[in-house]
Amino acid sequence: MRRVGYALFAAFIAAAELTAQDAFTMREEMIPMRDGVKLYTRIFTPSVARGKLPVMLVRTPYGIGGATSAGIAAGMGFLARDGYIFAYQDARGKFKSEGEFVMMRQPRQNPNDPKSIDEATDAWDTVDWLVKNVPDNNGRVGMTGVSYPGWLTAMAMLEPHPALKAVSPQASPSDMWLGDDFHHNGAFRLSYGFEYAVMMESGKDVKPFAFDVYDTYEWYLRLGTLANVNQKLLKGTIPTWNDFSQRPDYDAFWQRQGMKPWLKRVTVPNLNVAGWWDQEDFYGPITIYRELEPHDTKRQNFLVVGPWNHGGWMRGEGKSLGPIQFEQPTAQFFRDSIMAPFFAHHLHDAPDPRLAEAIVFESGSNKWRRYDSWPPRAGSVAKSFYFQANGGLSTEAPKSEAPAFDAYVSDPKKPVPYRQRPIPPTFQGAPGWSTWLTDDQRFVASRPDVVLWETPTLTEDLTIAGDIAVTLHAATTGSDADWVVKLIDVYPDTGMSEPRMNGFQLMVANEVFRGRYRKSYSKPEPLVPGKVTDFTIDLHTQAYTFKKGHRVMVQVQSSWFPVIDRNPQTFVKNIFEAKESDFRTATHRVYRSKQFPSKIVLPVVSGAVQ
């Protein structure tokens, strides 16, 4: 959630000050909200008069102190050429804005109370002030932002000001318990959640936590149980950590904080943007788009998904991500051919760009695809690939009547790392975090606590477009377990032009599921030791081509440390209160028999695509 907010402002503005020439005149304002709190705002107007222009508003908790006219010209040049007044604002309680900062502030309880506030009202009051007080504006405002600023943009469309004519929430979180920054299906995103909460709530600015070792895998393992965070480090001073530790389940607090209950109408044209390898917020923009779809009677709800990490579409050319090459400037294409025409149409009365409702990049084949919905309504067939003996994966269902399975021992004291060690801190500029989803998965494939199944070498391309789901029939000797599932493209063992790509294992989709929540997210239950239990794991969605000569692989493991906290594998009511003695080794079995056919279901494209 933080990488393109705090980092984007610092990165593109710092670079721009060295290369771009000032093209804007800046004014600073403290804009009053309805409850008397004033929010610090910088407004940039083109230095050369261009008539009446729309306003582009970005609200952020990461600080706008580095925003300059040169930075705007460089970072937003693809919009600036069409003519905009840009307004940047510190969110309530951050940096130079007054008031109290509340992480992911919930929508207000009583919209009829004229003094009640939330992020939607702060956006409304800001837009109202801008159109009434900024000279030479044309009465139209657009909003955009990536990550937390994207969420602030999405919140603005819940109660939009009449002048708010178009929005583009990009990588916006939607539900911090189900699938975005802080949890995935109840599994806590430890390193991210801890480091982000401390960074954001230790003061009005942002200050990363100071680790005393470089390898945070070692640091978190040495920390021990999650109870030690407050007992030894934070002492109850970080509100969001207190929410984590006191609310481990999907209770009313997390449900109300999620956006899903509020997405009941499409109020303004909305361009949702996501990246297939977004390491922070992939679930959010996909969910926002899907929840709005049933209410989109005017065709104003759009989705773009490209081969990017978190915010990668807003910087650079986008020709590659980590070691993966896309053979074209995907990010530049998005900015120039999708985002700029979208806003120009709605804010400038430019011609309708006639965007397809869903524009997605199909990696592997490296082609943009255009659909009338996402997932596509036609053109793909759900095809099951079953786990087989000897690590096989095929479309033939298992025939064995015997209780066939693959087993592994999961030890919480030796968890599987989520990327190669050493693992540096998330928010201190060290390499690796932004591209870890494209790391070669061979670094764990040979571990005894990771099991895998793969197809024979493909004799023709295999293209998928749509939703991916996994059914695990599994058992454990413990009373709780995590299941981490990865869909992987295995490159040919030889013949690749880049030698390191020979045999490369690229993670195409992934997810973690905490076993205690198999029946209810709000009322967890222990697993019955030794009992075969069904787990359905949503691997979300993808557009991807497994090329001829490649193989399709599924990997399963039960830890992903420290991006996911360790499951004790002994059921306790609250893992944040677990004792050291609760963390026990367990043997897990994944079944692959006729009675218990574990499988992955892929949306295989059945014919020509658009």
Cβ-contact 479, 527 below 8 angstroms: yes
* pLDDT value for 458: 98
Domain termination residue (choose one: 341, 371, 401): 371
The whole-chain average pLDDT of the chain stands at 94
pLDDT tens-digit series, residues 348-384: 999 999 999 999 999 999 999 999 999 999 999 999 9
Please name which of 141, 175, 168, 140 lies closest in space to residue 154, comparing C-alpha atoms.
168
Domain of 264, CATH number, reads 3.40.50.1820
**305: β partners:** 274, 360
Whether residue 180 lies inside any domain: the answer is no
80 and 156: one domain? yes
Query: Averaged over 244-268, what is the pLDDT?
Result: 93
365 and 503: one domain? no
36 and 144: one domain? yes
Cβ-contact 116, 109 below 8 angstroms: yes
Domain of 505, CATH number, reads 2.60.120.260
* pLDDT value for 235: 97
Whether residue 1 lies inside any domain: the answer is no
Please name which of 435, 538, 546, 525 lies closest in space to residue 481, comparing C-alpha atoms.
525
**SS3 letters across 465-503:** EEEEEEEEEEEECCCCCEEEEEEEEECCCCCCCCHHHCC
351 and 483: one domain? no
Residue 415 pLDDT exceeds 90 = yes
* pLDDT value for 301: 98
Whether residue 466 lies inside any domain: the answer is yes
417 and 453: one domain? yes
What does pTM read for this prediction?
0.95
* pLDDT value for 127: 98
25 and 155: one domain? yes
**SS3 letters across 377-392:** CCCEEEEEEEECHHHE
* pLDDT value for 67: 83
- Measured CA to CA, the distance from residue 315 to residue 167 in angstroms comes to 19
Which residue type sits at 135? P
Above pLDDT 70, what percent of the chain?
96
Above pLDDT 90, what percent of the chain?
89
pLDDT tens-digit series, residues 208-248: 999 999 999 999 999 999 999 999 999 999 999 999 999 99
Q: How far is CA 26 from the centre of its chain?
A: 33
Whether residue 179 lies inside any domain: the answer is no
57 and 84: one domain? yes
Cβ-contact 592, 404 below 8 angstroms: yes
User: Is the peptide bond between 562 and the residue preceding it cis, with omega within 30 degrees of 0?
Assistant: yes
Tally of CB atoms within 10 A around 27: 12
* pLDDT value for 66: 79
pLDDT tens-digit series, residues 482-520: 999 999 999 999 999 999 999 999 999 999 999 999 999
- Measured CA to CA, the distance from residue 143 to residue 384 in angstroms comes to 42
- Measured CA to CA, the distance from residue 108 to residue 37 in angstroms comes to 16
Please name which of 75, 88, 60 lies closest in space to residue 23, comparing C-alpha atoms.
75
Whether residue 181 lies inside any domain: the answer is no
Q: What strand order describes the sheet that includes 270-275?
A: 24-32, 38-46, 85-90, 53-60, 137-146, 164-170, 270-275, 301-306, 358-362, 367-371
* pLDDT value for 59: 98
Model confidence at 168, pLDDT cuts 50, 70, 90, reads very high
Cβ-contact 170, 343 below 8 angstroms: no
Give the pair of three-digit tokens for residue 449: 């606590």
Domain housing 191: 186-251
Domain termination residue (choose one: 310, 338, 371): 371
Domain termination residue (choose one: 328, 349, 371): 371
149 and 238: one domain? no
501 and 455: one domain? yes
pLDDT tens-digit series, residues 528-587: 999 999 999 999 999 999 999 999 999 999 999 999 999 999 999 999 999 999 999 999
* pLDDT value for 5: 45
Whether residue 578 lies inside any domain: the answer is yes
pLDDT tens-digit series, residues 49-91: 889 999 999 999 999 987 888 888 778 999 999 999 999 999 9
* pLDDT value for 75: 84
Q: 438 vs 607, which has greater pLDDT?
A: 438
pLDDT tens-digit series, residues 310-337: 999 999 999 999 999 999 999 999 999 9
147 and 87: one domain? yes
Q: How far is CA 523 from the centre of its chain?
A: 25
525 and 408: one domain? yes
Number of domains the chain contains: 3
The contacts of residue 354 (CB under 8 Å, 6+ apart) are: none
Residue 14 pLDDT exceeds 80 = no
432 and 557: one domain? yes
Ramachandran angles phi, psi of 168, nearest 5°: -140, 85
Half-sphere exposure of 273 (CA within 13 A, CB side): 28
Whether residue 447 lies inside any domain: the answer is yes
* pLDDT value for 569: 98
Whether residue 610 lies inside any domain: the answer is no
- DSSP symbols for 493-549: SS--SSGGGTT-EEEEEEEEEEGGGSS-SSS-----TT--EEEEEEEEEEEEEE-TT
